[in-house]
Every structure is written in structure tokens, then in C-alpha cells.
């Protein structure tokens, strides 16, 4: 999955950007670089995956402010903050903003790669979960309106007779719907059906 991920470098020093791009490129990472936070935000695509390596002090928006703006815009891209001017308040602010790491310059290649690998691990987990949610949504879309009603009742923990009473249908019809729902959702038993129904409801809320 690493091949889908990219390191987005934000630093106003061209020599630092070039150095990081060269070092990371030689290590097998795909990169893109920006001179400031605003340039990254302007270029950002909703399908971007990977991590941001940002300097703390930038012209305009700071690296920590960039973290906050990414979250405000709905981006889950993990961030690694780098700086030549580290102090405790800055480090605290970075981690409160969910930075993966806070590296003080000069740092060695190993430290940066370790931080990027930690960020990529978070991204891979996010992408796997996102794919699972999309797959579940596609399965739910196969259900008829009545089957969705039965599934909602299952999420409430109702048994066949209770579902039948709520929907004004027979228990036998409920069982037929359950069988069809289980086939469409690719679940093996009623327990998995209820789990799917509860998870789907939580995702909507």
C-alpha cells in the first residue's frame, strides 16, 4: 500500500526542500513539495494519501496552523513537524494538533524515515477502514426499502416476531427478508447481521 502514499513537504527554504526530496526519493518515497502552507492547501486533492512533513515556521500560516486547517477541511493526513526553533510550547501544540512527531533540526535520515513510517502506518489503517466502509455502503445499497427497515429493527435488537409486529408483516416474511439481507450483506449468521446493522447505524450518525 506504500506505493499509494506520498510525502508532502512544506518548507520555505528551497535547499531544505531539495535535500528532503532527494533523500526521501533515494529511500523510495514519492514526494511533492511546497514553499508554504497556503500552496499545499490550494493544491490539495481529496484523494491525497500519505503524510505532510512541514516546517514549524513558515511565511504566512505556520506548520501547526496548517495541521489545524487540514483537519478543519476534513483531511486526515498525518503531519510531522520539523523545526530549527523547537521549544516545549511548540512541541506541545504540535502534538495537541495530532502531529505524529516533532523533530528538531538537525535530525538524521533515520529519525525522519521512522516518523514517516509511523505516519504511513496510520494512513494505511485509515485507508483500509475507508475501503471497508465503502464496501459496506455498496452492500447496503443492494437492499430494498423493506429490507432496510428489517435491518433497522435488527439494529434495535428486535426478534422476528417483534419486527413483524412493528412492520405489520408476518414473522415468516421477516425471516425471508433476513435471509435475503444476509445474502446481500455477505454475513453468515444473525449475530453478524446485527453487528453490521449497528455499525452501519453508527457510521450514519
Question: Residue 183 maps to which CATH number?
Answer: 1.10.10.10
User: Which comes out higher in pLDDT, residue 17 or 105?
Assistant: 17
Residues in the chain: 205
| 68: exposed, middle or buried (Cβ count in 10 Å: 0-12, 13-18, 19+) | middle
In angstroms, rounded to a whole number, what is the distance separating the alpha carbons of residues 100 and 176? 49
Task: Tell me the three state secondary structure of residue 54.
Answer: strand
Confidence of residue 201 (pLDDT cuts 50, 70, 90): confident
Identify the DSSP state of 23.
H
Q: Which residue, 114, 132, 150, sits at the end of a domain?
A: 132
Model-level pTM?
Answer: 0.74
Cα 46 to the chain's mean position, in Å?
Answer: 11
Task: Tell me the three state secondary structure of residue 130.
Answer: helix
Nine cell digits for residue 74: 476534513
Same domain, 14 and 83: yes
Same domain, 32 and 56: yes
Domain of 10, in residue numbers? 2-132
Query: By the 8 A CB rule, do 73 and 132 touch?
Result: no
Neighbours of 24 (CB within 10 A): 21
In angstroms, rounded to a whole number, what is the distance separating the alpha carbons of residues 169 and 142? 21
CA-closest candidate to residue 53, choices 27, 81, 29, 24: 81
Q: Which residue, 132, 159, 186, sits at the end of a domain?
A: 132
Q: Which residues, 6+ apart, have CB-to-CB distance to 205 below 8 Å?
A: none
Q: Is the pLDDT of residue 1 over 60?
A: no
Same domain, 17 and 42: yes
* Whole-angstrom Cα Rg for the chain: 24
- Assigned domain for 178 exists: yes
Same domain, 48 and 30: yes
Span 88-117, mean pLDDT? Answer: 92
Same domain, 194 and 98: no
In angstroms, rounded to a whole number, what is the distance separating the alpha carbons of residues 146 and 73? 36
Confidence of residue 25 (pLDDT cuts 50, 70, 90): very high
Measured CA angle at 60 (ends 16, 13), to 5 deg: 10
Same domain, 98 and 9: yes
Same domain, 35 and 103: yes
Q: What integer best gives the mean pLDDT of the chain?
A: 91
The residue assigned the cell 533515494 is 26
Q: Which residue, 104, 132, 160, sits at the end of a domain?
A: 132
Same domain, 85 and 164: no
The residue assigned the cell 538524521 is 108
- Assigned domain for 87 exists: yes
Same domain, 24 and 118: yes
- Assigned domain for 137 exists: no
Confidence of residue 26 (pLDDT cuts 50, 70, 90): very high
Same domain, 117 and 75: yes
Could you read off the pLDDT of 39-73 as tens digits, one per residue?
A: 999 999 988 999 999 999 999 999 999 999 999 99
Same domain, 123 and 147: no
- For the chain, the domain total comes to 2
Same domain, 97 and 153: no
Confidence of residue 140 (pLDDT cuts 50, 70, 90): confident
Amino acid at each position: 500500500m506504500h506505493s499509494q502514499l506520498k510525502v508532502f513537504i512544506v518548507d520555505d527554504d528551497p535547499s531544505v526542500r531539495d535535500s528532503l526530496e532527494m533523500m526521501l526519493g533515494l529511500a523510495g518515497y514519492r514526494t511533492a513539495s511546497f514553499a508554504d502552507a497556503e500552496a499545499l492547501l490550494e493544491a490539495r486533492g481529496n484523494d491525497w494519501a500519505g503524510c505532510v512533513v512541514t516546517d514549524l515556521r513558515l511565511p504566512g500560516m505556520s506548520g501547526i496552523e496548517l495541521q489545524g486547517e487540514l483537519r478543519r477541511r476534513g483531511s486526515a493526513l498525518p503531519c510531522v513537524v520539523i523545526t530549527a526553533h523547537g521549544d516545549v510550547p511548540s512541541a506541545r501544540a504540535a502534538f495537541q494538533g495530532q502531529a505524529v512527531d516533532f523533530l528538531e533540526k538537525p535530525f538524521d535520515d533515520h529519525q525522519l524515515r521512522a516518523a514517516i513510517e509511523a505516519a504511513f502506518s496510520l494512513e494505511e489503517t485509515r485507508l483500509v477502514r475507508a475501503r471497508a466502509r465503502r464496501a459496506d455502503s455498496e452492500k447496503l445499497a443492494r437492499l430494498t426499502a423493506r429490507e432496510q427497515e428489517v435491518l433497522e429493527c435488527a439494529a434495535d435488537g428486535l426478534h422476528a416476531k417483534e419486527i413483524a409486529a412493528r412492520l405489520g408483516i408476518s414473522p415468516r416474511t421477516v425471516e425471508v427478508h433476513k435471509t435475503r439481507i444476509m445474502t446481500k450483506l455477505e454475513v453468515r449468521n444473525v449475530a453478524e447481521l446485527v453487528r453490521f446493522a449497528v455499525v452501519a447505524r453508527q457510521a450514519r450518525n
